[in-house]
Structure 1
């Protein structure tokens, strides 16, 4: 009866782990980590005084870890553009761009870095640039969270249908892999929040848009793809809690393992 109850709890751990991995993969695949409703301030002031349409000179942007979509309305209808991340390891920065030619993207990035280095007042984000370190760290920790989540799922299946002998394949392993998945999913959340707070919430527009009056400051927010990772972290946390209630002890003792050895085996 006790063994059946433990298997039931481990099955719950498997379900929570599977749900957490699914949420993290969905976060990778969707382009809604941030959303923004930028506006062109100078033109909006002119519209107000002249009675222009309030929908003119407004836009919306959604962006994921690698790409996004931007629609800006200059007064003649929205213009949809697909924007992607272009990074430079040597400069340690990334930018948003709608260019497709790799040579032009590199030249644009180098020019923005040069413009930033030639002044001392404006911040990196004012040039449409953001931290490469925080961006790539978010991706790496998110990927590691998925990997450890998958490992936890495999070990949960093994504990449900098999008879683990090694300590690492039993309770210790279940605690370890779920704990690592929890840690890395939380790190991914914290790193992206750091990236968001350090600049993205101030500007998500390329410099050429900023130069003609567009602004996204105070109009940019975290979107549902980010909260999928928060949900994944919660799912892995529930996995650990379920393990605690299952009665499985986190122990390095091999006494239970030795009981499962085949009769007659000589232990040295």
Structure 2
């Protein structure tokens, strides 16, 4: 592929990486990771609520990685309640998983920015070592994509397997018992998925630029050398 087209592809991949870094940073600070509704089970059983009456006992909940909000509905109107994961909820949530999610989000941002820098370096500079050239680009993209996948897996297990929404809903509740009525992953969670897909797309752009995947056998091993493969 001609050098100008390679520059365009690498610049495009660098822009994608920068957007992903901004998106991940914005997602970390929002409350839009999970949205759902919670049922005041105790109140509904006391009045044997069914049908439209049951709506008076269904509140809302939403939260992110650091803080959130729930609306308590027990038949007498909604009562909003703000909460923070640190340090309030550390005793009731799987803290190790939650901290790991935050850690991998940080790693994702770092390696996304590193990848962006190396994409631009490959576009306008002269790469001369393995990690400076296309092999390095594959590495940074693979690490960033893996971090995004780990974030989604860990957070999904925290929410679904460990019933995070229900634990939050029953935090400091003595008289009433709450049960998760519905929940879904919100915008910030899907931003992480989109970033993982973008990093996978970046690996395809590297391949489109004419560079073989790492560890693949060259077609003509007799004429290729390590330095020549990385230069363009």
Q: TM-score range by the shorter chain?
A: 0.7 to 0.9
Partner of 1:102: none
Alpha-carbon separation, structure 1, partners of 2:192 and 2:53? 39
Q: Which moved more, 1:47-56 or 1:230-239?
A: 47-56
Alpha-carbon separation, structure 2, partners of 1:46 and 1:82? 27
Partner of 1:236: 199
Alpha-carbon separation, structure 1, partners of 2:50 and 2:5? 73
Q: CA RMSD in A?
A: 2.7
Give every structure 1 segment of 4 or more consecutive aligned residues whose post-TM-superposition deviation is greater than 3 Å: 45-55, 249-252
2:228 to 250, 255, 268: 255
Which of the two has higher C-alpha Rg?
A: 1
Distance 1:246 1:52, change over 3 A: closer
Q: Is the 8 A contact 1:47 1:53 kept in 2?
A: no
Partner of 1:112: none
Q: Is the 8 A contact 2:40 2:73 kept in 1?
A: no
Alpha-carbon separation, structure 1, partners of 2:129 and 2:228? 11
Distance 1:138 1:233, change over 3 A: same
Q: Is the 8 A contact 1:189 1:230 kept in 2?
A: yes
Structure 2 residue runs of 5 or longer lacking an equivalent are 215-224
Once the two structures are superposed, what CA deviation does each residue of 1:197-219 show, in whole Å capped at 9, x if it has no partner?
A: 2212561323433x433323352
Distance 1:172 1:145, change over 3 A: same
Partner of 1:40: 40
2:182 to 210, 214, 219: 219
Alpha-carbon separation, structure 2, partners of 1:142 and 1:178? 15
Partner of 1:27: 27
Q: Give runs of aligned pairs for residues 7-18 of structure 1, distance below 5 A.
A: 7-18=7-18
Q: Which moved more, 1:227-236 or 1:54-63?
A: 54-63
Partner of 2:103: 140
Partner of 2:114: 151
Q: Give runs of aligned pairs for residues 188-199 of structure 1, distance below 5 A.
A: 188-199=151-162
Q: Which moved more, 1:231-240 or 1:32-41?
A: 32-41
Q: Is the 8 A contact 1:149 1:181 kept in 2?
A: yes
Partner of 2:2: 2
Alpha-carbon separation, structure 2, partners of 1:50 and 1:249? 62
1:208 is aligned to 2:172: yes
Q: CA deviation at 1:48?
A: 5.5
Aligned residue-pair number: 221
Q: Give runs of aligned pairs for residues 59-208 of structure 1, distance below 5 A.
A: 59-87=59-87, 95=89, 109=91, 129-200=92-163, 203=166, 204-208=168-172
Structure 1 residue runs of 5 or longer lacking an equivalent are 88-93, 97-108, 110-128, 261-268
Q: Which moved more, 1:242-251 or 1:21-30?
A: 242-251
Distance 1:247 1:79, change over 3 A: same
Normalised TM-score (structure 1): 0.72
